[in-house]
Amino acid sequence: MEPMVSVKNVSMRFNLASEKVDNLKEYLIKFTKGSLKFEEFWALKDVSIEIMPGDVYGLVGLNGSGKSTLLKTIAGVLKPTKGTVTVNGSIAPLIELGAGFDMDLTARENIYLNGAVLGFSKKFMDEHFQDIVDFSELHDFLDVPLKNYSSGMVARIAFAIATATKPDILIADEILSVGDYRFQEKCENRMKELMSGGTTVILVSHSIEQVRRMCNKVTWLEKGNVIMTGPTEEVCRAYSTKY
Amino acid sequence: MKNRFATFWRYRFLLSNLIGRDIKVKYRRSKLGILWSVLNPLLMMLVMTAVFSKFFRFDIPNYPVYLLSGQLLFTFFNESSTAAMGSVLFSAPLIKKVYVPKYIFPLEKSCFSFLNLFFSMIALMFVMLITRTSFHLSLFAGVIPMFLLFMFCTGVGLFLAAAAIFFRDVMHFWTVIVTALSYATPIFYPESIWQGTFMVYLGRLNPLYWYVTSFRGCVIDGVFPSVVSIGVCTFFAVAALVVGASVFWKTQDNFILYI
C-alpha cells in the first residue's frame, strides 16, 4: 500500500539571526563588513516517517522538540531545507484554529472566508453551510462580528469548518484543548467518525492519555531527532518512563 | 504551468472572498458606504480645482476633467501598490498556519483597488456631464490604458510585497517615491511646463506619464491611444510583471522565516 504521507530525511534549518536584521541600512553595513552571520538552528534533523492510509498517527515530545515544525512541513507551510515530503491526498489543517478569521466580519462571512482559505469552492461552502452552523451550535450569533465572540465560540466554528469536508488527511495540533468539556467530547467524536470513514489523522498532543486513546502509531521527537517510532503502547510507555 | 493555473483556479473563491472582505471592512459603519468611492475623488477634485484655478493658474481647458482623469489613475497606482506592499506581512498569521498561494494577497489588493477605480469612474462621468464635455467613442478605449496600468500595478505590488518582508524600510521609502512620482506626472499641471527643463527627457521615463496621457487622450481629446503609447504602456506593464513575479517567486519560500 502506498503511504499517505511520506517524510524522507527531512531537515529544517532556521537562521536565528543573533540580532534580527530587517532594515536595509543594517544589512548593508553588515554585508560590507562581512559580518552577516546567522546562528543556525536545526529544528528537524533527518526525520523520516511514513503514515499509511487510515492511520491515526501521534506525535509526542516536549515543547520545542519539532512537532509543530514537522506538521508545518507536511501541511506545506514550510519547505524543508533538506529531504522531501510527499503527500497523496487532500489536507485539512487544524493547526491553531481560526487562522483565517477576520474579527471585523460576522460569523457568517467568516465561515465563507475560512472555507476559501482552506481551498473550498463556493458551491461546497453553500452545501455545507448548514452543517457547519449546526455543528458549532451558534445559530443565534451568525450575524454578530466575530470580535464579540468568546475564544471557545471561535474555536467551535473553526473546528466545524475544517471537518466539514471529509479530508484524506486531518492535521490536528493541540486543537482539542479548546472549548468546554462537552464540546471537546463532540470534537473527539467527530474525529472518530472521520477516522472510521478512512481519514488519516496526524495528532499532536501533550496529553499522553489522549494519544493512547486515539492513535495506533506514535513517533517520539526530541530536539528535532526521532527517538522512537512504533505502536502506541510501546512508545507511550517508553515516553512516560522518561518523563 | 498547468498545475499552477489549477491551483489558482482552486483559490479563486479565496480571491473573491478577500475582495469582498476588503469592501465590507472599508465601508463598515459608514452611512454612505461604497458611495464614498465616487464621492471621495469628487470632493478631492473640487478642492484641488478651487486651489489651482485661483492661486496657480494653468492654461488648461476643462480643468476639472483634466485633473480628475489624471488623479483617478494615480490614486489607483498609489492605493494598490501601498496596499499590496503590506499585504503579505499583514496576512502573516494565516500564512504561518495554512498553505495558501502567497501571491493571492498582493494580487487581491490590486484587484480591489482596480474595482474601486471603476466605481470612481462614475465620478468622472458625472463631472464630464456637468462640464458638458463631449463624449467620444474613444472613451471606451480608455479601459486599455486602465487595464495595462492594472498589470503594471500588480507587478509593482508583487515586488514591493516581497521586498517589504525582508526590509521594512521599503514601506517608509515608498511613500517618498510615490510623492516624487506624483509631481513627476502631469496630474494637476500641463505637460507644457516641462519645456526647457530636464523633465522633457526624464518625464518620459516615468511609466505613470504614459498611462495618464494615454487615458486622457481617450477621455478628453477623443483620440484612440496611439501604437507608440500602447506599446510603451505594455512594455512597462510586462516589465513590472516579469520583475515583480520573479522576485516574488524566488523569495517566497523564505517569507515565513521573516514574517
Q: Do A117 and B93 touch (CB under 8 A)?
A: no
| pLDDT tens track, chain A, 243 positions | 788 889 999 998 887 665 556 677 777 776 666 665 667 788 899 999 999 888 889 998 888 888 888 988 988 888 888 999 998 888 877 655 566 788 888 888 888 888 888 888 889 889 989 988 888 888 888 888 888 888 778 888 888 887 777 788 888 776 656 667 787 788 878 878 888 888 888 888 877 888 888 888 999 998 888 999 989 888 888 888 877
Do residues B116 and B79 lie in contact, with contact meaning Cβ atoms separated by under 8 Å?
yes
Name every residue in A having a CB less than 8 A away from some CB of B. 14-15, 22-25, 27, 75-79, 91, 93, 95-96, 99-100, 102, 104-105, 109, 112-113, 115-122, 125
The model's pLDDT over A153-164, given as tens digits with 9 standing for 90+, comes to 888 888 888 777
CA-nearest residue of chain A to B165? Answer: A22
**What are the structural domains of chain A?**
5-242 (3.40.50.300)
pLDDT confidence tier of residue B129, bands split at 50, 70 and 90: very high
Distance from CA of B201 to the nearest CA of A (A): 31
Query: Shortest Cα distance from B25 to chain A (angstroms)?
Result: 7
Nearest Cβ partner of B94 from A22, A79, A100? A100
Distance from CA of A107 to the nearest CA of B (A): 12
Q: Which residue of B has its CA nearest to A117?
A: B14
B187-193 — which CB contacts under 8 Å span 24+ positions? B187/B67, B187/B70, B187/B71, B187/B74, B187/B212, B188/B48, B188/B52, B188/B58, B188/B67, B188/B70, B188/B71, B189/B58, B190/B58, B190/B59, B190/B60, B193/B58
